[in-house]
Amino acid sequence: MGLSTGYNKIRTAVFISGTGSNLKSLIKFSKTNKSPISIDFVVSNNSKAKGLNYAKKFKINKKVLNFQNKKLSENKLISVLIKNNIEMICLAGFMKILSKNFIKKFKGKILNIHPSLLPKYKGLNTHERVLNNREKFSGCTVHFVNTRLDSGKIILQKKVRISKKDTDTSLGKKILAQEHKLYPKAILKTFNL
């Protein structure tokens, strides 16, 4: 991704809105020797996001912005990220759509994880739609973020088999377990590691 790992790890921010299980797995990964990134900042649009507890537990700086005025929130965010020398952003269950202006500021340095085999099932309620269409497989995708929703270059995907008994909850759980492994692998791949 045009970033050199060098000696220091790449300072990374994770954006969340809810549980933060992907944040937890990224923090765990970042503490391994093989990780090219460190997690130095957590952003949430939701002050009640459970995932914010991981920022507290691991003493990571955080910022909560409500995004009611998107432009204002994003401008505050850009300055706080720059102040913290953030070089890379991992979206992990972040439910707000970032503006073109924001994405351009961090061009090629924003990754996202999506719980489907993109380009299929972009957007919300993926598991429900997948099951309604009687798909045999679903999965998850890590991709670069561009200005179109869930449409940036795909880095890695993991396929998950759907069983006849699956509900959107059980499928979601199966896929989430794979997400936790896929995100670190995709990060390694972006650094050719």
CA distance 129 to 82: 39
Least separation in angstroms between residue 104's CB and ligand GRF is 22
Q: Which stretch binds ligand GRF (CB under 6 A): 14-22, 34-42, 77-85, 128-136?
A: 14-22
CA distance 17 to 92: 8
Residue 120 structure tokens: 């299929």
Among residues 77, 43, 45, the alpha carbon closest in space to that of 61 is found at: 43
Site string for ligand GRF, 164-183 (x = CB under 6 A): ------------x--x----
Q: Is 114 a catalytic residue?
A: yes
Give residue 64's identity as a one-letter amino acid code.
Answer: V
The reply on whether position 113 binds ligand GRF by CB under 6 A is yes
Neighbours of 135 (CB within 10 A): 15
Nearer to ligand GRF, 109 or 127 (CB): 127
In the set 1, 11, 19, 135, which binds ligand GRF (CB under 6 A)? 19
User: Which residues are identified as catalytic?
Assistant: 114
